[in-house]
Amino acid sequence: MNVFLVHGTMGKPFENWFPWIENKLVEKEIRCNIPTFPTPEHQNYSDWERLMDYYCGLGVVNEDTVLVGHSCGSVFLVHYLLTHKIHVKGLICVSGYNNFISGFEMMDKLNESFYMDAESLDMTAYADKVFSFFGDDDPNIPQEILKSFALEIGGDVQCIPNAGHFNAAAGYTTCSVVLQAIESCR
């Protein structure tokens, strides 16, 4: 098993709980990749898709991979799996959402190409296990958007009290619920 994590808009692999999760996985001898996806320049589905194609071509992402997406990285992964009909060991979406228009022009422009108007976003045919985590007090994304996305992709849905957007601003420099979800995919 290996883990591949995709950050969200304006994100980096060395922020929030990402370094902590990588260290915990290394201790358990689980390979973890957290690449830098280009943002804000080149943040669009087509450019991120090409980067993901590269990792799939290398065999880094395969049927033994647990994919973890944070924020907009979640809908990117769902979009990618549905488009390419790839099956993985697990899919974990943290503060994931789809079709959210914030009214903040720059953010909306960066995120819009990831969004999907698919008939179904059910990921249970594309991942052995599916998990969604979101905070009950997310300051960035409305609850109904977070919950709707989580229910649409299927699997285990958990609304975590006081988790905010599951980022450092909400105190998330560690994230035991994600680590437990990864371990349950073994």
pLDDT digits (tens, 9 = 90+) for 113-149: 999 987 899 999 999 999 999 999 999 999 999 999 9
For 125, list phi and psi in degrees, rounded to 5. Answer: -85, -10
CA-CA-CA-CA torsion sign (83, 3, 75, 44)? negative
User: How many C-beta atoms lie closer than 10 Å to residue 67's C-beta?
Assistant: 27
CATH class of 41-172: alpha beta
For 111, list phi and psi in degrees, rounded to 5. Answer: -90, -25
Domain range annotation of the chain: 41-172
pLDDT digits (tens, 9 = 90+) for 8-22: 999 999 999 999 999
pLDDT digits (tens, 9 = 90+) for 148-178: 999 999 999 999 999 999 999 999 999 999 9
Q: What is the pTM of this model?
A: 0.98
pLDDT digits (tens, 9 = 90+) for 72-102: 999 999 999 999 999 999 999 999 999 999 9
For 106, list phi and psi in degrees, rounded to 5. Answer: -60, -45
Q: CA-CA distance, 100 to 62, in Å (whole number)?
A: 29
